[in-house]
Chains A and B, each alone.
Chain A
């Protein structure tokens, strides 16, 4: 090996220039990074509060709640599947926790555990159904989306007589659980929500798994070519089910943060968010067809969301404009990503 080890560096050096450029261009998150920079600069110039610590705390928090989900959804999308039930799932998990704690007087920690088990079971069911039936996950999870939505409203009304569960503050373990999920920390006299740390942590873990582990390798492989992956011995079914469980886990995390921060939950929460997750993942460079994308990209996609949503508020514009901005942003990101990929493919050979 020592002999050959000497030779390659010379060859690599010759190749390194175009290859470095190529690699930069094919990074999935490059479009999102440029976008985030643009949005950041724009609102920093246009508004006063955006760049202040207080402003940053607000848009980072907004981005974090979306980002945790977007990252999980990105993993799933790279693996070639969708989960439309992810949005409602954040409400379902919060409701399970809240109902158990307030109605049955369960310790909040125990309630959280049961809720987690529930989430993982639903995720596994989603995955199992998709793999078993061979139907597109878009349809299967559309079904579980509707079912969960109905369950959320129906059960909540049945138990509480209203469409919300509140009174978490009086439950046992609320303080300690709240510290983990809903507390704040101080930087420069400004308090930031702990959800931001969760977001960063989740992104780092997801990205590490994706890039450094063999499971990460499998995610790309099953999303890019499930048939070939199976042929070489990748456990396709198990991996995909695990990915559905990962989004369910993320939904549980976001649901828990919500319920412990606001101490109450609306049964119709979370509806419509599933598309925001997908949008953030796509802005972050994920392909709808699977096999390509990045966890960091999705996190940045969520950051763009957060910055824009709060930036528009700081600018004093009507929040109606947010949707327009979102649409333009999505199209621009997809076009840029597409262009870069094409360009990268042209260098082929």
Chain B
């Protein structure tokens, strides 16, 4: 292997308003190697890929490509140089054929007329090279399986003579057989001298396919050039997690063993993503669900809430069974959900703060069908003061608030409704570190007031710090259920990642 690096990155810094996503990333990729990027959620992996593929411009630092300092102004420029990223949400156009997608933006054409036959032939050859002669170049991309779509994305990267492929958690959407095929493709490509930057949470995969590993944490490179096969698991996990504790979690109160069971879930299954989920939450208890993205944890919450219909199992609140697949029944029984996609699912972004708070309790503000605007504002003002929503003012439009304050508005909504069970999906996503502790504090206060709380988070530290009890979800099954203080971060990560040998 030549010592010369194909791509090398030094001192990369990327700032977003309020957050520094990357604060000093260094690593280099050699031709023909599979270089793995490892790091917890929020470590900066996604930002790094976007910078490398030209989607973001770095604020500081330099990227060298084949020994020359470059700046990719946009993804097209990066692709033309031979750097192609294959994102999880694939950049394909459904409705166009496989061949049309492969050559979209760089069509083979004469006088504007597409040379379809030639594109088809070239696509065929690329797909053959990728070990997929079964994908017809004429087929509509929207009608392919996700795994096949990924192959098409790779074919596109190769059609541009890609020398470096960046793959963002490609295995997240694949089943084990498909992962095996993917690894076969990767091995073939690297044998031909193509370099691959491979991102995954799954240690077993990294051991199998990776050559070297770079570990990112809090936007920084903490280790680079480690051997993917020989580095100990404990060392890798230590590097990923061993951060200075920057989140302060509120004091837990021991849960009263005599406290009533508020939420009881038995044998819940949706017939697809998860099965056999049992979950009991007492009044005043915070239960955390830990698991990888795609493990089924969000789906479990949504099914409990009735937003997805359960195939099997029951959900009881205060001893009363809820009708399946009915959000209305769930809300009436006292359930509240703060969804992961706060902006698209949880908030009326262009409405005032007070309207966002009262929207789930409208009937209590209505008199003869008319809303009592003044009462709405008064109650909302009191709540926002208690929660310290900044900047103050209930007439402010929610869109203008920071992530943390938006989350407080969602919490205020459920406080107002005095719900019995609060389901929180990634409560601190997009919330900066400073505001996190405040959110944690609020969640704990809610629990102390007798609410049963369920928290889903990709951040293991958060789940452990916040919860009284922790459930670990892997591939749609609960694989562990126990008190939070009897398990540590590396054990959770072990459980979460275990059994991913493809």
Residues of A within 8 A of B (CB): 1, 4, 7-8, 11-12, 15, 19, 26, 212-218, 220-221, 224-225, 228-229, 231-234, 291-292, 344-345, 347-349
Contact = CB atoms under 8 A, between A and B. Distances in A.
Contacts of A348: 142-143
Nearest to A7: B133
Contacts of A8: 124, 133
Given A221-B104, A232-B156, A347 B93 contact: no
Interface string B38-73: 000000000000000001000000000000000000
B318 interface: no
Nearest to A209: B112
Contact of B95 (A12, A213, A214, A292): A292
A224 B75 CA distance: 19
Given A213-B109, A214-B109, A217-B107, A232 B76 contact: yes
B105 A229 contact: yes
Nearest to A222: B93
A347 B139 CA distance: 12
B480 interface: no
A221 B93 contact: yes
Contacts of B100: 217, 220
Interface string B119-158: 0010011001000011010001011110000000000100
B121 A217 contact: no
A1 to B, nearest CB: 7
B133 A4 contact: yes
A224 B140 contact: no
B274 to A, nearest CB: 22
Nearest to A228: B91
Given A26-B140, A233-B79, A1 B121 contact: yes
The 9 A-B pairs at the shortest CB distance, nearest first, are namely A233-B105, A214-B107, A233-B76, A232-B105, A228-B91, A225-B93, A221-B93, A224-B95, A214-B109
A4 B140 contact: no
Q: Kindly state the interface size class of chain B when it binds its partner.
A: 20 to 34
Contact of B104 (A11, A229, A344, A345): A229
8 contacts: A4-B128, A11-B133, A220-B96, A220-B100, A228-B92, A229-B105, A231-B55, A233-B79
B390 interface: no
Nearest to B92: A228
B142 to A, nearest CB: 8
A216 to B, nearest CB: 8
Contacts of A349: 143-145
Contacts of B91: 225, 228, 231-232
Contacts of A214: 107, 109, 112-114
B106 interface: yes
A220 B107 CA distance: 14
Nearest to B102: A232
A220 B95 contact: yes
A234 B96 contact: no
B94 interface: yes
B136 A12 contact: yes
B48 to A, nearest CB: 18
A217 B145 contact: no
Given A11-B133, A220-B95, A234-B104, 7 more contacts: A1-B125, A4-B128, A8-B124, A212-B113, A212-B114, A220-B93, A231-B75
Contact of A15 (B93, B105, B136, B144): B136
A214 B92 CA distance: 16
A19 B139 CA distance: 9
B472 to A, nearest CB: 31
Contacts of B104: 217-218, 221, 229, 232, 234
Interface string B82-119: 00000000011111100010001111010011101000
B105 A234 contact: yes
Contacts of B109: 213-214
Contacts of B134: 11
A228 B76 CA distance: 11
B11 to A, nearest CB: 27
Interface string B308-331: 000000000000000000000000
Contacts of B145: 349
A224 B113 contact: no
B224 to A, nearest CB: 28
A86 B93 CA distance: 28
B114 A213 contact: yes
A325 B272 CA distance: 45
A87 B331 CA distance: 49
Nearest to B156: A232
Contact of A224 (B96, B106, B144): B96
Contacts of A7: 133
A224 B141 CA distance: 12
A12 B124 CA distance: 13
Contacts of A232: 75-76, 79, 91, 104-106, 156
A205 to B, nearest CB: 12
Contacts of A212: 113-114, 116
B52 to A, nearest CB: 14
